[in-house]
């Protein structure tokens, strides 16, 4: 908290956002739809916000991370807290619905109690309730992106099923990131199908042979009138798209943070367009947006995305309120605005959990899901095996679902070491659950799923790990791209998070033996460009990762993945309870 204060960050209590104390314990046994939707209304205008759905239109389980390790100077700041620290920071009651949705604590027990999360049919019920209460013309639904990608039905329909779901929910404005991995032409086609608007002030045409060279690719902002006031909304797509994903998808488009041009559009909306409120709809990431708020003036609210953080209370930096709504359709945030004389004078905020057991499903939403999944039911409904323990995705260095993917690739390719990207989307399965082909897709459904096997020198492997760590643990959030550390199979190492760049990794072993920097190792990877660093590409066994993993589970039948990490943290800078903790 002291570090947060020093950085100019502090949280305020949001009316109706959480239950506390004895009242919480009493209501816990009788939670209802009314409890979830309850909020102290303010003004006449309401903004609903979603982010990082990753194409999950059906309810799912999603376990929050048990580690969110950061550079020492960021320890304890919003975006780098989880578990018990998260509960203390936000005032969350143990055993509550909020604990289940916001942390990993007691996950399996609470999952059985509260059931699955999200699902568009349940989200629609909540959205319609707010629109009925406030008046449909007084409500906006904004989407911070990472919506079109992440599941089988999204991949197989090239995003169309998810755009249909957005139109059903009533998305008014969106920005993007993984959307761009469908390629420029498909992105334009999907935007044409979207009833809402796609905006971004930070995507520029940099193709010198294009008629639109150095012009904006998308409109930078839009103005919406709701509740008798004018809301200026500026779009901020993911600034590192062309480096985080293969350049081929966006060749000719330039991405960046571009806070200077952002300030120009803020001023334009304020001075020329005479808006009453300025909102930045962002996919920068929670920590990046906290830094962005220090660089620009005149923004009332930043609705953030990309890093998948839930934030039950607003974070205020200078005069800007920053909000983020988790991931995977687990939450819808509600922001009520009271505006007088061109100024926001008051507001209410609530992060509303989409608890599918407590929220009735809209029949039209269930039919929409059924329509898009029906052609693939046979394939996606195949039971590949079962899991003995919880399969989950999020954590800084290691997760059981990623370990399963790595083991499958290593078994298939015969590689000595496997790199799996630190993506933050996927699904969770409880002990004893059946593993469906659909679940494998939920972890791997990308438009570049090929598994490559190649040779890398030990020195190159060591350097790659240092480079990845420099991105993940950079002390300046503006240099972080938002992913977790790449997962390794067949290797182990120690890390000093607070060490200087290039000096973090130690005790690196492959196959239980210290790495030989001069030796060439057989390496497999997927979901990136790592194969381009290899000295010799082996092309005989290039397969889609979801097929490799599915085959492996079919053979194993029962999957038993150790929860023990292969990475040891050596310093306190990570926020671990003690030196030498395994994360």
Domains of the chain, CATH where assigned = 2-29+37-369 (3.60.21.10), 381-574 (3.90.780.10)
Pick from 378, 361, 393: which is nearest to 124 by CA?
Answer: 361
Contact by Cβ (8 Å): 233, 142:
yes
- Whether the pLDDT of residue 580 is over 60: the answer is no
pLDDT confidence of residue 84 = 94
Q: What residues does 387 pair with on adjacent strands?
A: 559
pLDDT confidence of residue 572 = 54
pLDDT confidence of residue 248 = 94
Pick from 532, 552, 533: which is nearest to 543 by CA?
Answer: 552
CB contact set of 35 (below 8 Å; sequence gap of 6+): 19, 27
- Whether the pLDDT of residue 17 is over 60: the answer is no
* pLDDT, mean of residues 452-480: 92
* pLDDT, mean of residues 429-438: 98
Which ranges constitute the DSSP H helices of 424-577? 437-444, 458-472, 545-556
Give one word for 426, left, alpha or beta, with left for phi > 0 and alpha for psi -120 to 50. Answer: left
pLDDT confidence of residue 482 = 65
d(CA 583, CA 262): 38
- Whether the pLDDT of residue 71 is over 70: the answer is yes
* pLDDT, mean of residues 295-310: 97
pLDDT confidence of residue 536 = 63
Cα–Cα–Cα angle for 329, 335, 336, rounded to 5 degrees: 145
d(CA 85, CA 431): 26
The mean of the pLDDT values for the chain is 91
Pick from 389, 316, 311: which is nearest to 350 by CA?
Answer: 311
pLDDT confidence of residue 477 = 85
Tokens 């761009």 — which residue? Answer: 180
Going by pLDDT thresholds of 50, 70 and 90, the confidence category of residue 513 is very high
Range scoring the smallest mean pLDDT among 127-141, 219-233, 430-444, 528-542: 528-542
The pTM for the full model equals 0.92
Cα→Cα distances 407→496, 508, 559, 583, Å: 26, 19, 11, 19
- As given in the structure block, the two tokens for residue 303 are 């609705």
Task: Express as a percent the part of the chain with pLDDT over 70.
Answer: 92
pLDDT confidence of residue 483 = 77
d(CA 468, CA 276): 42
pLDDT confidence of residue 210 = 86
Order of strands, edge to edge, in the sheet holding 173-174? Answer: 197-198, 173-174, 139-143, 45-50, 331-340, 343-353
Contact by Cβ (8 Å): 419, 488:
yes
pLDDT confidence of residue 478 = 85
């Amino acid at each position: 908290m002291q570090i947060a204060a020093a950085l100019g960050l502090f949280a305020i209590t949001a009316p109706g956002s959480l239950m506390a104390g004895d009242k919480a314990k009493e209501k816990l046994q009788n939670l209802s739809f009314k409890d979830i939707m309850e909020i102290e209304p303010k003004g006449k205008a309401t903004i609903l916000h979603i982010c990082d759905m990753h194409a999950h239109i059906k309810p799912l389980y999603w376990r929050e991370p048990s580690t969110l390790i950061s550079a020492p100077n960021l320890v304890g700041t919003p975006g780098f807290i989880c578990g018990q620290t998260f509960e203390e920071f936000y005032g969350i009651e143990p055993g509550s619905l909020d604990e289940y949705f916001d942390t990993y604590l007691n996950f399996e027990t609470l999952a059985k109690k509260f059931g699955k999360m999200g699902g568009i049919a349940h989200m629609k019920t909540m959205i319609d309730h707010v629109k009925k209460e406030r008046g449909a013309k007084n409500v906006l639904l904004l989407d911070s992106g990472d919506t079109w990608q992440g599941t089988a039905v999204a991949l197989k329909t090239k995003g169309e099923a998810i755009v249909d779901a957005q139109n059903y929910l009533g998305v008014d404005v969106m920005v993007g990131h993984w959307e761009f991995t469908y390629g420029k032409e498909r992105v334009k086609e999907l935007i044409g199908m979207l009833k809402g608007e796609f905006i971004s002030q930070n995507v520029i045409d940099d193709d010198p042979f294009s008629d639109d060279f150095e012009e904006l690719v998308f409109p930078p902002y839009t103005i919406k009138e709701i509740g008798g006031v004018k809301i200026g909304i500026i779009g901020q797509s993911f600034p590192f798209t062309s480096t985080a994903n293969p350049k081929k998808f966006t060749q000719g488009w330039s991405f960046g943070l571009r806070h200077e041009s952002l300030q120009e559009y803020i001023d334009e909306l304020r001075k020329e367009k005479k808006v009453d409120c300025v909102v930045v709809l962002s996919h920068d990431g929670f920590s990046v947006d906290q830094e962005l708020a220090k660089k620009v003036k005149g923004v009332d609210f930043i609705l953030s995305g990309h890093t998948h953080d839930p934030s039950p209370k607003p974070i205020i930096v200078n005069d800007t309120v920053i909000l983020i709504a988790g991931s995977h359709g687990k939450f819808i945030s509600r922001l009520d605005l009271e505006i007088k004389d061109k100024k926001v004078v008051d507001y209410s905020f609530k992060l509303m959990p989409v608890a599918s057991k407590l929220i009735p499903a809209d029949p039209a939403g269930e039919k929409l899901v059924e329509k898009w999944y029906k052609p693939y039911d046979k394939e996606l409904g195949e039971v590949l095996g079962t899991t003995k323990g919880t399969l989950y995705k999020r954590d800084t260095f290691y997760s059981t679902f990623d370990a399963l993917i790595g083991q499958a690739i290593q078994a298939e390719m015969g590689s000595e070491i496997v790199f799996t990207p630190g993506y933050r989307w996927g699904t969770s399965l409880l002990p004893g659950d059946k593993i469906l082909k659909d679940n494998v897709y939920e972890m791997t459904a990308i438009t570049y799923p090929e598994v490559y096997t190649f040779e890398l020198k030990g020195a190159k492997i060591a350097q790659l790990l240092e480079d990845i760590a420099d991105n993940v643990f950079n002390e300046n959030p503006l240099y972080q791209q938002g992913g977790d550390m790449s997962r390794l199979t067949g290797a182990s190492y120690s890390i000093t998070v607070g060490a200087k760049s290039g000096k973090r990794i130690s005790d690196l072993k492959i196959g239980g033996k210290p790495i030989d920097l001069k030796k060439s190792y057989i390496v497999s990877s997927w979901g990136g460009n790592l194969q381009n660093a290899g000295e010799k590409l082996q092309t005989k066994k290039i397969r889609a990762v979801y097929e490799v993993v599915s085959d492996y589970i079919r053979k194993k039948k029962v999957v038993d993945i150790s929860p023990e990490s292969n990475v040891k943290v050596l310093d306190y800078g990570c926020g671990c309870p003690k030196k030498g903790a395994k994360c």
